[in-house]
């Protein structure tokens, strides 16, 4: 089967979030190589539009049987990375 592994992660905090704030998390995906992709995150205050944090995660797809990186399948690329 497939295994997704986090190979890198980062987050830049821009301003505090208070318990009364309603926050949304916007996601975007970007292919990097045949075996990996990035997920970008933006945490935004729904009322003001202020950005509270931005981050990204590099994901690598592995073959669960061999433990080796494998190419991202076309169905995944078509659904999430285009």
pLDDT, tens digit, 9 for 90 and up, residues 18-50: 999 999 999 999 888 899 999 999 999 999 999
This prediction has a pTM of 0.84
Angle at 65 between CA 62 and CA 66, to 5 degrees: 70
Share of the chain above pLDDT 90, in %: 79
Q: How far apart are CA 62 and CA 45, in angstroms?
A: 35
Q: Tell me if residue 63 falls in helix, strand or coil.
A: strand
Outline where the chain has alpha helix (H): 74-80
Report the pLDDT averaged over residues 2-14: 96
């Amino acid at each position: 089967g497939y295994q997704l592994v986090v190979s890198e992660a980062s987050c830049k905090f821009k301003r505090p979030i208070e318990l009364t704030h309603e926050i949304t998390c916007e996601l975007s995906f970007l292919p990097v190589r045949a075996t990996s992709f990035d997920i970008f995150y933006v945490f935004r205050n729904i009322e003001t539009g202020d950005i509270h944090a931005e981050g990204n995660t590099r994901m690598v797809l592995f073959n669960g049987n061999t433990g080796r990186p494998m190419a991202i399948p076309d169905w995944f690329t078509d659904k999430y990375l285009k």
